[in-house]
Structure 1
């Protein structure tokens, strides 16, 4: 191409694929009409080769000279062209002949800079190393043919690089500056060289590893041959003899024939397998697992009912209903054992009750399981099911899978060391299901007395008798337990502790445990009952005692700091000392009264996963189109209850003493603590009371809590969780509770001390609720406006 930089008018031959860079010589088949017109227009033998970028053409093309032309065997015309330089496409023009013509501005390379020459030398060395690593040593001639003083031509040599994509080649074509072009190709070459060296290293390592494996296999075979010649094949023989002795012992002890037969079959396979076989290790693992189960081990139950009751009383304060049920279960087992001895020929069905301890966190569900095991003299194993989503966690993996192992039930039996342990299935309400199966469905066989005597683990592939295992389950809530699984459980509710019970638990159990945990002696620190009660009422607000134990631990840590600093002992912690040790109380009995001091706020009672709790309902009204807005992350049932409450107030405005104009406004009902999901019908009378309070200007009494479902006719329907709700009201400092009349029998579950401390009103109509909960009208007139 002439050295002039004057714009030239050239025909364009678009390249549908590939990129041509100077000084490449290529053959181009003229398969399109555009290509043929460009060839016909190149009367002076030059045309512009422009690659396509998507649907458009590149900004820079290669000026090419036609060296020769001819016809391919199929009749297609082909050209041999040599790229002589670059030209930037400035604009399309009308040419003298049909076809695509452009005004092209030649771009010269110019004299390379010193930095370009330095980069060119580095690029030459990198390309040579790359081609040698890839095995393309023939390209060394191409490198040698490029002038060492022309780094731009060296960079353009990348046009022949087969692994370089068209996008990068177009980028290279459009990079006019020599130094930038060389730096660009150098970066690509270094990247490719690093990948090639890594691939070469991996290939070498794999080849060497295979050689090592073949060498090891050969040596092992030679070693086996030597051992056989010397008669020294003791190691493998000892393992087989050991397994055979253990299997013979199981057979002599009366273990089921199918178990013994399966063990002998797998031992025969193990004995025939070569030592280097991978499957030999799998068979060995199966033999160890099955033989590791305590097929012949059982503990004798301690069936002393009085002693069992003493153990439960020593370990736990309160929970009388739970203790009574456990003692009943032990009494039945004792009678069955005695009757079996007196009349062994009479078949008796085993009691199939699976006790499920349901209650909020921290009420002692897990520790109760330990106490049951201790009272029976059995081993105790805890199986945590929270978050389990794979059915194989219960039934085990099939042996065809790599890494297969037995399920959690079989592992628990092996861990216990006996076939009749107490197994606590913890957090059954948090078992999930997905594409890996449904673990709760697998638990059905485990917990069914009619089936679990032949429980089959997928890994063991032999029947495992679980009929003598005492299963206990724990859960926080029942809603997430599938119905078929819930049907197999006998529910025992642990609804929380009263204030007096918490003080006793803290004195008898928590403080001694925390003293030992913080290296304090009984004669070094003492907490008075007044201090314990102050911690219970002012620093904790829970159904259980977990937070209470943490607070007591904090008190004892601060006392330990004083003693370690030289303070005199013994240290007595009284109620007045708690401000320095724990800070100001977090909860006060005046909170409810403060919240309900203005009209439109009522105190409800609810049950959450953490136990019973008070629930405030706030209402307000504003001008606008008559409507209702409910906020606070509520479910559909609770939103419907809010609509029912407003509809009742509107339909009974004369009884509530509200005029029609006040009801034709926009109402907003809000439940604070919006981060906590809430749903259920039991807040119906609470919302009705809050709306009536707002409209009449009569505040709700601060000492009253309520719960109950309301209907459009004003009936108050029964709800669940009475005990937890009443205990929550007692913890919050309320003195009166409004409940549906049909929930009266449920009050028998409430501790006697709480029933005596609180006044319970049983109602069957919402009008009664308003009479009990709202302050008298005369007081409302004197109250400040909301």
Structure 2
């Protein structure tokens, strides 16, 4: 085969390799390239095209281009703005660059045509093998066309009709969009069989890449379709709302954004909200996450971060409200008025944390409600009874299912301002379990030094609770830990006297129950003696809840009687009270009429007020045993043993033989054995009863006593003195023996209770025996 050498104008192409049978447009902007095109057009329109090795070479020489290129025929030249040419060429034959004849003003190359090698090792190809190769290449190209529908149908027809293997390889290589480096490999491959294998390998690789791409696109499309469907549905809903004239055309995220901008809050809170709103926008395709974020944002927007209500500081008005709604409770009223006075003078001041302690039904909760009314503050009541999970106070992490703020944050949200009156009811009923120490969670919020930065687990930003006026209530201080108790100002609310109960019933309970049952003042009249009898014989409590229930019973029966008998009015007196309330429920164990040996009246404090305990002691021949009956607790048992030891130490002073207690059994009994009894205030009572039984000396029947005893006979102080004195008075006792250290407490007890009582303060057991024994 004759190999022809030619001298042709040359253009170095950037990022493009021209193959035989290729029809291609390309733009020319370099001066040398434009002059080479023009020189070729003036001649036979033939030009040598070779790809640059490096794309950024501006003035390429022979070392900067591939040595194998393609001789092409120029079919069209179009002038473009900015001195550019658009050239249409058709690739014809491979050629090797021998040398550049000159490089200025354009490139002119001396090239030699490179013929295809169609034989291998000097043997001719088997026609059947060539046919199989042609058919296989056509099938592979058909599969490629299925993945690339952009290729023209004319190309498919041309490939189908081509029978010569060499031309088929060149046509496919020229029309498949290879990269310029892959195309250069095909251009440089002179052997037809090797070029065929390389083309097949490239085609199969591209088909595999397209298959993987389709799989990925299918998976992505499956995910996107769901999101797209939800998006379209939301847009349709938005359009429907607009058509119906609904003004809420803003998206939820936009509404949250506007609400945050108007929110009275610190920059820290707003920054947190903006961050959550951004997350809300990005999570539109996930309903579960969207719901969690929406709830959180709405909760944050409803919190009163810097929103306060104006305080009413009129002391006269507050005093009027408290006096109108509560009888007694002088200490509480004085402390509240003091707080108002300080607040009025300073215009601010730390809100105190008051703890109202007293028996049930004495008005602890209602006094907090009255205080809120006097201050004209929002009132929030949080019941802590039975709360044992720390998360109830501090809230749950918002990542948990069903998470919510703690009760304190929820209370602020309910109040709508950051300075409400918040009542923490029954704080002594809080319990602990494995979920956390609830009392410790309350330490932060009830400490005026810490609650300005109280952190709720759900909200995740500090809440200022220093402006909240906290009122707590408790029935007893025994179950409240000392650190928590130290943070509160204790105000004791003691039991009501019968006179106080009478005033409360007359001023509040009877009018309230009349109105509740639809009765007028003329339709139901309850006499004074009937009220006294109700308080004494139908209720036994420190407060007035049971008394209110009994008044309600009378109102219901009176309403029925008025309707059935057509009466105009019902009058309840002491005589006919049993017709409405039945038989008397309680009778006071009155003082004994005669002085007796071994029987002493003691005084006890209970959760519903005071009571009297009659302690009986018998001495019998035996072996020195001490018998304790009446369901006594450990403290009272220890008090009894302490009393025996004291008696042994002073036996000589009272004429008791040394062997008396060894030869006799002492039986101590407190009646009402079904009722548990315990407490550190019956020591001197049991000791007096034992000495009376052992010596045979009688004890004064009109005397009662309370106090604890030591081994040396000292009398220790006790608590609940008001309730105990009240119980003694109700039982008809005239003289009460109390510890000397409790003498100061007598001054705080109203004269109504102490009137008619002779109170004897004692320090030692000898004084008790001197006053009690005859």
| Residue 327 of structure 2 is aligned to residue 317 of structure 1 | yes
| Residue 640 of structure 2 is aligned to residue 642 of structure 1 | yes
Match of 2:578?
579
Residue 725 of structure 1 aligns to a residue whose secondary structure is: helix
Q: 1:328-371: CA deviations, max 9, x gaps?
A: 1111111111xx7xxxxxxxxx3353110000101000001001
Q: 1:117-173: CA deviations, max 9, x gaps?
A: xxxxxxxxxxxxxxxxxxxxxxxxxxxxxxxxxxxxxxxxxxxxxxxxxxxxxxxxx
| Residue 278 of structure 2 is aligned to residue 268 of structure 1 | yes
Given the alignment, which residue of 287, 292, 303 partners 1:282?
A: 292
- Aligned partners of 2:584 and 2:222: how far apart in 1? 75
CA drift of 1:613 comes to 2.5
Q: 1:652-703: CA deviations, max 9, x gaps?
A: 3344444556533222223345555544332111111221232244454343
CA drift of 1:231 comes to 8.4
Match of 1:501?
500
Match of 1:511?
510
Q: 1:353-405: CA deviations, max 9, x gaps?
A: 31100001010000010011111110111111111110000000111211111
Q: 1:243-295: CA deviations, max 9, x gaps?
A: 11110101xx3x11111111111111011113443111111111111111123
CA drift of 1:603 comes to 1.9
Moved more, 601-610 or 472-481: 601-610
Moved more, 749-758 or 260-269: 749-758
| Residue 724 of structure 2 is aligned to residue 711 of structure 1 | no
Shift of the 384–732 alpha-carbon distance from structure 1 to 2, 3 Å rule, reads: farther
Match of 2:151?
none
**Preserved CA contact (<8 Å) 2:405 2:458:** yes
Q: 1:382-439: CA deviations, max 9, x gaps?
A: 1111111100000001112111110000111111222111111111111111110011
- Aligned partners of 1:311 and 1:718: how far apart in 2? 37
Match of 1:768?
767
Query: Unpaired segments of 5 or more residues in structure 2?
Result: 1-220, 242-247
Matches of residues 109-148 of structure 1 in structure 2 within 5 Å? none
Residue 576 of structure 1 aligns to a residue whose secondary structure is: coil
- Aligned partners of 2:641 and 2:230: how far apart in 1? 86
| Residue 315 of structure 2 is aligned to residue 302 of structure 1 | no
Match of 1:617?
615
CA RMSD in angstroms comes to 2.6
CA drift of 1:555 comes to 2.0
**Preserved CA contact (<8 Å) 1:704 1:773:** yes
Shift of the 677–590 alpha-carbon distance from structure 1 to 2, 3 Å rule, reads: closer
Residue 229 of structure 2 aligns to a residue whose secondary structure is: helix
**Preserved CA contact (<8 Å) 2:230 2:285:** no
| Residue 465 of structure 2 is aligned to residue 466 of structure 1 | yes
- Aligned partners of 1:522 and 1:493: how far apart in 2? 35
- Aligned partners of 2:233 and 2:751: how far apart in 1? 84
Query: Unpaired segments of 5 or more residues in structure 1?
Result: 1-213, 341-349, 777-786
Match of 2:160?
none
Matches of residues 237-276 of structure 1 in structure 2 within 5 Å? 238-250=251-263, 253=264, 255-276=265-286
Shift of the 736–581 alpha-carbon distance from structure 1 to 2, 3 Å rule, reads: farther
- Aligned partners of 2:365 and 2:282: how far apart in 1? 48
Compute the TM-score of the two structures, normalised by the length of structure 1.
0.66
Compute the TM-score of the two structures, normalised by the length of structure 2.
0.67
- Aligned partners of 1:227 and 1:362: how far apart in 2? 56
Shift of the 229–399 alpha-carbon distance from structure 1 to 2, 3 Å rule, reads: closer
Residue 302 of structure 1 aligns to a residue whose secondary structure is: coil
**Preserved CA contact (<8 Å) 1:525 1:569:** no
Shift of the 538–735 alpha-carbon distance from structure 1 to 2, 3 Å rule, reads: farther
- Aligned partners of 2:223 and 2:384: how far apart in 1? 44
| Residue 343 of structure 2 is aligned to residue 329 of structure 1 | no
- Aligned partners of 1:731 and 1:242: how far apart in 2? 68
- Aligned partners of 2:748 and 2:475: how far apart in 1? 18
Matches of residues 371-386 of structure 1 in structure 2 within 5 Å? 371-386=370-385
Residue 360 of structure 1 aligns to a residue whose secondary structure is: coil
**Preserved CA contact (<8 Å) 1:422 1:471:** yes
Residue 667 of structure 2 aligns to a residue whose secondary structure is: strand
Larger Rg belongs to: 2
| Residue 662 of structure 2 is aligned to residue 651 of structure 1 | no
Shift of the 290–688 alpha-carbon distance from structure 1 to 2, 3 Å rule, reads: same
CA drift of 1:617 comes to 2.4
Q: 1:27-67: CA deviations, max 9, x gaps?
A: xxxxxxxxxxxxxxxxxxxxxxxxxxxxxxxxxxxxxxxxx
| Residue 612 of structure 2 is aligned to residue 605 of structure 1 | no
Residue 718 of structure 2 aligns to a residue whose secondary structure is: coil
Residue 759 of structure 2 aligns to a residue whose secondary structure is: strand
Shift of the 319–229 alpha-carbon distance from structure 1 to 2, 3 Å rule, reads: closer
Residue 382 of structure 2 aligns to a residue whose secondary structure is: strand
Residue 322 of structure 1 aligns to a residue whose secondary structure is: helix
Match of 1:727?
726
Residue 335 of structure 1 aligns to a residue whose secondary structure is: helix
- Aligned partners of 1:233 and 1:258: how far apart in 2? 38
**Preserved CA contact (<8 Å) 2:425 2:474:** yes
Runs of 4+ aligned residues of structure 1 deviating over 6 Å after TM superposition are 214-220, 233-236
Match of 1:224?
231
